[in-house]
Amino acid sequence: MSDAGGGRATRLEERDRPWVMRTYAGHSTARESNALYRKNLEKGQTGLSVAFDLPTQTGYDPDDELSRGEVGKVGVSIAHKGDMHTLLDGIPLDEMNTSMTINATAAWLLALYMTVAEENDVPVERLQGTTQNDIIKEFLSRGTYAFPPGPSMRLIADMIAFTVDAVPKWNPINICSYHLQEAGATPVQEIAYALSTAQAVLDAVRPQVDDETFPRVFGRMSFFVNAGIRFIEEHAKLRAMGQLWRELGRERYGVDDERFLRFRYGVQVNSLGLTESQPENNVIRIVLEALAVAMGRDARARAIQLPAWNEALGLPRPWDQQWSLRIQQILALETDILEYPDIFEGSNVMEGLVAELVEGAREEMAVVAEHGGAVEAVDYMKTQLVESHRARLAKIESGEQTVVGQNAFTTTEPSPLQQGEDGGILTVDPNVERDQIEAVRHWREQRDEPAVRAALDELRGAAEDDGVNVMPATLAAARAGATTGEWAGTLREVFGEYRAPTGVDSAAGADDAALEEVREKVERVSEALGRRLKVLVGKPGLDGHSNGAEQIALRARDAGMDVVYEGIRLTPSRIAATAVQEGVHVVGLSILSGSHRELIPEVLRELREAGADVPVVVGGIIPAADAEWLREAGVARVYTPKDFELTKSIDDIVDLVAERHGAAAAA
Identity of the amino acid at 23: T
Pick from 616, 625, 618, 615: nearest CA to 640: 618
CATH architecture of 513-660: 3-Layer(aba) Sandwich (3.40)
Residues annotated catalytic, as ranges: 24, 178-179, 539, 543, 545
The dihedral formed by the CA atoms of 200, 206, 208 and 213, expressed in degrees to the nearest 10: 140
Position 664 scores a pLDDT of 66
Return the HEC string of 182-223: HCCCCHHHHHHHHHHHHHHHHHHHHHHCCCCCHHHHHHHCEE
535 membership: H or E segment, kind and range: strand 534-538
Q: How far apart are CA 623 and CA 601, in angstroms?
A: 16
Region 19-405: CATH code: 3.20.20.240
Distance CA 617, CA 622 (A): 13
For residue 636, the Cα-to-chain-centroid distance in whole angstroms is 29
pLDDT of residue 5: 43
CA 343 to chain centroid, in Å, comes to 32
What is d(CA 366, CA 360) in angstroms, rounded to the nearest whole number? 10
As a whole number of angstroms, the distance between CA 428 and CA 71 comes to 10
CATH topology agreement for domains 19-405 and 513-660: no
Neighbouring residues of 434: CB distance < 8 A, sequence distance ≥ 6: none
pLDDT of residue 4: 47
Which residues are bridge partners to 587 per DSSP? 536, 616
CA atoms of 655 and 22, how far apart (whole Å): 47
Task: Report whether 205 contacts 192 (CB < 8 A).
Answer: no
Angle at 568 between CA 470 and CA 474, to 5 degrees: 15
- pLDDT-flagged residues of the chain (< 70): 1-9, 507-510, 663-666
Helices 106-119 and 149-166, packing angle to 10 deg: 30
Helices (H), 465-595: 471-480, 484-495, 513-529, 547-558, 572-582
CA dist 181 and 191 (Å) reads 10
DSSP strand pairing (3-4 vs 7-8): antiparallel
What integer pLDDT is reported at residue 660 of this predicted model?
87
DSSP track, 363-427? HHHHHHHHTTSTTTTHHHHHHHHHHHHHHHHHHHHHTSS--BTTTBS---PPPGGG-STTTTSB-
Residue type, 352: G
Q: State the amino acid at position 453 in one-letter form.
A: R
Distance, CA of 229 to CA of 208 (rounded, Å) = 41
In angstroms, what CA-CA distances link 420 with 314, 426, 430? 15, 12, 20
Q: Residue 507 has what pLDDT?
A: 66
pTM for the model: 0.93
Which sequence spans correspond to the domains of the chain? 19-405, 431-495, 513-660
pLDDT of residue 428: 82
Helix and strand numbers, DSSP H then E, in the chain: 25, 17
CA distance 492 to 151: 10
Cα separation, 164 vs 491, in Å, equals: 23
Residues 418, 424: contact at Cβ < 8 Å? Answer: yes
For the chain, the first-to-last Cα distance in angstroms comes to 70
The tally of CA atoms less than 13 A away on the side-chain side of residue 16 is 24
Residues composing the chain = 667
Per the CB < 8 A criterion, the answer to whether 70 and 593 are in contact is yes
